[in-house]
Amino acid sequence: NTGSQPCGLTLLDGFSTALAKNPKSRLGDCWMGAISFYYERERLEQIVPDAGWYPASIFFQGMKFMVFGDPTLPMEL
């Protein structure tokens, strides 16, 4: 793993949102929700590379994080 940029917090927002929508979610459901939320919120389909590092860092942010654990783990609130 490498360092995170501020847009990495969007993953946390997505995870929390997924859990709030379904209090009986599993870990894998919340992670999938986080990635989907990130894709939409950070508009990954619209990112255009430039000479700087930040557009690429936004695109690859979701790949910088890994979930170690059983994706079927219940996340009940």
Cα separations (Å) of 24 from 12, 36, 62, 77? 18, 18, 24, 7
Write out the residue range of the structural domain in which residue 27 sits.
6-64
Residue 34, domain member (yes or no): yes
pLDDT band at residue 40, thresholds of 50, 70 and 90?
A: very high
The answer, yes or no, to whether residue 76 has pLDDT greater than 90, is no
HEC readout, 5-55: CHHHHHHHHHHHHHHHHCCCCEHHHHHHHHHHHHHHHCCHHHCCCCCCCHH
pLDDT at 1: 53
Name the domain count of the chain.
1
Q: What is the pLDDT of residues 6-35, one digit of tens each?
A: 888 999 999 999 999 998 999 999 999 999
* Structural domain contains residue 33: yes
The answer to the question of residue 52 being in a domain is yes
**pTM of the predicted model, to two decimals?**
0.85
Q: What is the mean pLDDT of residues 45-50?
A: 92
